[in-house]
Structure 1
């Protein structure tokens, strides 16, 4: 198996050659059956230093490594924020609208605590800009496929968001230990579907999604890392 790609600051340095600061963004929880969709947003500037050793896209780190990395990632960047949209909002508005809603909440939190330049560049993982309209184009969003794998700032955003969401799902498991959320974090698994069949959905489940999926698709990897 090939070693995991190591993110760098190459892309960020290109942005920071023309701007004194930039933002980076990633989402987690898009494909879950239960729980919120969560957006991580970080701010870095031209004084950014070498990334923490071991920083990777959250999907490439084990849960213990993510937990250890999250505070290091948060102190490495100049500032960070997390925004969420609930399962009920996803049922009402749809997942794409809720990506924008959660992103707007993260942007509002970060911009309230930090003075951002006009037209601040924002590096967004993926190939679709679901954020610009929700933040009223207050940032210049640039999409990049595999940015969470290749760009250190986006990897930091992904780790911060993933650990934040996982901790929430573990707390929810402690309150209602029926669905093994401490293990699956709300993602599809045979045990999760079996628990839903036995106990019915909870208020954290995306009920519109459950109507579309009656059993999990076979998988060779752990869906809870996405």
Structure 2
């Protein structure tokens, strides 16, 4: 699959309208059955440099290319990643979990010196799951945070594509590390998504603490035939 090269056209239009900072935001891991959902952010201002060569929606890039791009992206723009655990997804649902992860990413961005005053968030997709989740304390002294949703923003907007790359690499690294303690789920290859090997591991070893248990019960009865009899393991 050929990667579409994103641009700064949308970001520059927003900056030209008086915005001080444009924060691209994207999530990864939304459809996984194990592990956290992760949200990445990348902040650009009027003095942003040219888009680094090769930046694209993380889904269109190989793992090695994503890994190589992270330090390049981090030199190009301030970035951060926030996560919400599988437990949060089970307890609160995926939309609140996305909001919590997004708010955490913004908090890390602020801690790194990026101001939200005069900022606008460009959020990939068609639904604003962020605004209601951002704590008032994070916005103290700041105008209400403006969020713009845009379908295919991870394909078209360089800041959002960059955010998707850092989020994907961070989450994948977590799942690969978890694989060492639970290799039967094949997380090093499936990263928590529902592959055949992953479901085979659940049938043979039971559910792990990193599994979104409610999602397993909602999964296909063919893939998880007999799951109700499986116990949870550490």
Q: Which residue number corresponds to residue 157 of structure 1? A: 163
Deviations 1:82-133 (A, max 9, x none): 1000001111000001000111111111113324153411100000000011
What is aligned with 2:128? 129
- Secondary structure of the residue aligned to 2:177 is helix
Find the counterpart in structure 2 of residue 39 from structure 1.
39
Deviations along 1:144-202, one digit per CA (max 9) or x if unpaired, are: 00000011000000000000000000000012211010000000111111110111010
Structure 1 residue ranges without an equivalent (≥5): 217-226
| Contact 2:3 2:61 (C-alpha < 8 Å) held by counterparts | no
Match of 1:170 among 171, 176, 182: 176
Find the aligned partners of 2:127 and 2:178 in 1 and give their Cα distance.
Answer: 31
1:30-67 CA-to-partner distances (Å, cap 9, x unmatched) read 00000000000111111101111111100000111111
Residue 191 of structure 2 corresponds to residue 203 of structure 1: no
**Distance in 2 between residues matched to 1:9 and 1:120, nearest whole Å:** 16
CA RMSD of aligned residues (A): 1.6
Match in the other structure for 2:230? none
Structure 2 counterparts to residues 81-92 of structure 1, below 5 A: 81-92=80-91
In structure 2, the partner of 1:94 is: 93
1:20 positional shift: 2.4
1:186 aligns with 2:192: yes
Using the alignment, how far apart are the partners of 1:47 and 1:139 within structure 2?
Answer: 22
Deviation at 1:206, TM superposition (A): 0.2
* 1:109 matched to 2:115: no
Q: Give, in whole Å, the separation in 2 of the partners of 1:205 and 1:25.
A: 25
TM-score computed with the length of structure 1 as normaliser: 0.91
Gaps spanning 5+ residues in structure 2: where?
224-234
- Paired residues of 2:126 and 2:150 also in contact (CA < 8 A): yes
Task: Give the Cα–Cα distance (whole angstroms) in 1 for the partners of residues 76 and 150 of structure 2.
Answer: 22
Deviates more, 1:13-22 or 1:148-157: 13-22
Q: How many residues align?
A: 215
Computing the radius of gyration from Cα coordinates, the structure with the larger value is 2
Give the secondary structure class of the aligned counterpart of 1:38. strand
Residue of structure 2 in register with 1:26 after alignment: 26
Q: Distance in 1 between matches of 2:155 and 2:114?
A: 28
1:190–1:215 contact (8 Å) kept in structure 2: no
How far apart in 1 are the matches of 2:31 and 2:159?
A: 23
Residue of structure 2 in register with 1:63 after alignment: 63
1:185 and 1:151 map into 2 onto residues whose CA distance is 25
| Distance in 2 separating the partners of 1:121 and 1:52 | 22
- What SS does the corresponding residue of 2:103 show, helix, strand or coil? helix
SS in 1 for 2:64: helix
Structure 1's consecutive aligned runs of 4 or more residues displaced over 3 angstroms after TM superposition are none
Q: Comparing 25-34 with 118-127, which one deviates more in the overlay?
A: 118-127
* Residue 12 to residue 134, structure 1, CA distance change in 2 (3 Å): same
